Amino acid sequence: MEVIVQPTPAEAARIAAMLIARAIERKPALVLGLATGGTPLHLYDELVRMHREEGLDLSRVRTFNLDEYLGLPPDHPASYRRFMKEHFFDRTNIDPRRTFVPDGLTQDIPRHCREYEELIESVGGIDIQILGIGSDGHIGFNEPTSSLASRTRDKMLTAQTRRDNARFFASPDDVPNSCLTMGIGTILDSRQCLLLAFGSHKADAVAAAVEGPVTSMIPASALQFHADAKVLVDEPAATKLKLRAYYDYAYRHSPVLQ
């Protein structure tokens, strides 16, 4: 696991965008796993800028979103399909037919989840998976105690996650109780993971995921098993890291990132 600390979220997101852009240049039909919420917005803004100002071509990229709320139609203001359209898809030349988000209105959850996994496999798997981290250490909507081998499935949300996400809804009572989410095993199958975390309220979760034991109580700690996981954080999110000096030294001497 490689930890990259930057002064601001925008600077950390710029590095993540650079890594993604380089990967697209090498493989125009890149398969990109996407996250939602406030954390990846800087990243999407930078990819949009690179598309508009530097000619980054996303027309052949395929995308798979991590999760979606159960019960929300795709045009609901808080749905993740709507989020991606507003913040990324409609601002670039991504082909909408190559973008996939779990269906929150599916009438057959097990079948839909199985087909989502099969669709990812049919395109060769996810090349780069973008991740955020919850204040309780969850990734996707894999809440604490999720199996580290889990696959795409429905999941009941914790009260903490519903509180954290209430800002996206008209009322806290409107936040759905359950969702569809890629599993931790699904995430670990990706060739590279880029986890972004910003703000002091993420510091404990970041430290536990990076430097703590691997445990289902901190689902993001499973990334310690991943062969190519990069954690990009701002200064406030890095305050609980014990090996901060080492991470900074490794970043300064990285031939790939410098």
Per-residue pLDDT tens digits for 95-127: 999 999 999 999 999 999 999 999 999 999 999
Rounded to 5 degrees, φ, ψ at 65 are -80, 150
Asked, for residue 244, whether it belongs to a domain, the answer is no
Residue 256: predicted pLDDT: 76
253 inside domain: no
pLDDT in tens, 201-234: 999 999 999 999 999 999 999 999 999 999 999 9
Q: Which is catalytic among the residues 103, 136, 234, 235?
A: 136
- In this predicted structure, the answer to whether residue 92 has a pLDDT above a threshold of 90 is yes
Q: Please say if the pLDDT value at position 258 is more than 90.
A: no
Above 90 in pLDDT, residue 257? no
Closest CA to 179 of 150, 147, 156: 156
Domain of 166 in residue numbering reads as 2-235
Instruction: For the chain, give the mean pLDDT.
Output: 97
CATH number at residue 227: 3.40.50.1360
Q: Report pLDDT digits (tens) over 141-167.
A: 999 999 999 999 999 999 999 998 999
Query: Is pLDDT at 16 greater than 80 in this prediction?
Result: yes
The answer to the question of residue 50 being in a domain is: yes
Query: H/E/C letters for each residue in the chain?
Result: CEEEEECCHHHHHHHHHHHHHHHHHHCCCCEEEECCCCCCHHHHHHHHHHHHHHCCCCCCCEEEECEEECCCCCCCCCCHHHHHHHHCHHHCCCCHHHEECCCCCCCCHHHHHHHHHHHHHHCCCCCEEEECCCCCCCECCECCCCCCCCCCEEEECCHHHHHHCHHHCCCHHHCCCEEEECCHHHHHCCCEEEEEECCHHHHHHHHHHHHCCCECCEHHHHHHHCCCEEEEEECHHHCCCCCHHHHHHHHHCCCCCC
Evaluate whether residue 204 is within a structural domain. Answer: yes
| 14 found inside a domain | yes
118 part of the active site? no
**pLDDT tens digits, one per residue of 30-39:** 999 999 999 9
pLDDT recorded at residue 255: 83
Active-site residue, selected from the candidate residues 42, 51, 112, 138:
138
Assess if residue 256 is contained within a domain: no
Q: Catalytic: which of 103, 143, 164, 234?
A: 143
103 is a catalytic site residue: no
Catalytic position from the list 46, 51, 67, 189: 67
Please state the rounded mean pLDDT for residues 232-238: 98
pTM of the model: 0.96
167-182 confidence digits (pLDDT tens): 999 999 999 999 999 9
* Local confidence band at 11 (pLDDT 50, 70, 90 cut-offs): very high
Query: Order of strands, edge to edge, in the sheet holding 153-156?
Result: 67-69, 178-181, 153-156
Residue 246 domain-assigned? no
The domain total for the chain is 1
Active site residue 67: yes
Q: Is 136 a catalytic residue?
A: yes
